[in-house]
Amino acid sequence: MSGPQDFRALLDSVRYEVLPARATEDKVLAHVPRDVVVTVTASPVKGLEPTLDLTGRLAAHGYRVAPHVPARLLRDDAHLKDVIDRLRGAGVDDVFVPAGDADPPAGAYDGALPVLRRLGELGSPLARVGITGYPESHPLIHDDLTIQAMWDKQAHATYIVSNLCFDSRVLGDWVGRIRRRGIALPVHVGVAGPVQRAKLLSMATKIGVGESTRFLTRHPSWFLRFAAPGGYAPERLLARGSEALTAPSAGVAGLHLFTFNQIAETERWRRELLDRLP
């Protein structure tokens, strides 16, 4: 089995996913190097404004930022154009477009593909456009359909971010499956940072009552993982999957680390692991 030294390149090419909370900007400035891409989530409860506001502030500090712009939070074409103009005005050229969880949708867009097509009609105004991949089964969509959706969207995107997964075998199998289906976009592998279960529960609560309920009911297995004997250690997941994830045929561009706003802890973990590698 491959060892940790095989994923140094993955640790050097990371994206930190953060939530637009009150203290997030200060945490990023204090702990995140400027060469790390910061992605900012969007909540169906709070809408896009906190995401766009934090994105602009971080970009002004010199960070490369990729905001989440869920399709189901966009009211109409005019809203989409306004969001794009705002991002370009802030010097942001990267956007992540999931379908989103807003139910009902804020407008006509009920999935990511129509938004991606509209971006193409607008002349592809952003250099980088990310879409979602699902290593583990989606609660509402069959696995084959999620991979087909990636096929449909890849013409309009430049990279894939895989959803959170705690099983290295499942992750490696999924990467192999999408490559066999001819999906060639680079993949940023979604991995939870070294988060503690108690802090994760606290963060889930801070997201908001409605959002928090959805978060907990949709991801009960996460808390079982964090509560397992010995806790959760992302380096174990990476070590077990390093052979599949570092193979040239995998096309893995780096890691997408879900920080749950434990930003200092995540960067400390990454630096300590890099220091231990050959």
Q: How far is CA 224 from CA 102, 175, 234, 256, in A?
A: 26, 25, 15, 22
pLDDT of residue 229: 59
User: Mind listing the domains of the chain with CATH numbers?
Assistant: 4-276 (3.20.20.220)
pLDDT of residue 194: 87
- Reading the block at residue 211, the tokens are 């959002």
In the chain the beta strands, taken as DSSP E runs, fall at 14-18, 37-40, 65-67, 94-96, 128-133, 159-162, 187-192, 252-258
Q: In what order do the strands lie in the sheet with 252-258?
A: 65-67, 37-40, 14-18, 252-258, 187-192, 159-162, 128-133, 94-96
- Reading the block at residue 161, the tokens are 């971010």
DSSP secondary structure letter of residue 121: H
Q: Which residues of the chain have pLDDT under 70?
A: 1-6, 137-147, 197-231
Please tell me the distance from the alpha carbon of residue 154 to that of residue 276, in angstroms, as a whole number. Answer: 37
b (16+ CB within 10 A) / e for 93-122: bbbbbbbbbbeebbbebbbbbebbebbeee
pLDDT of residue 26: 98
Q: Give the relative orientation of helices 24-31 and 49-60 as an angle to the nearest 10 degrees.
A: 30
pLDDT of residue 219: 61
φ, ψ for residue 254, nearest 5 deg: 160, -170
241 and 187 Cβ atoms separated by less than 8 Å? no
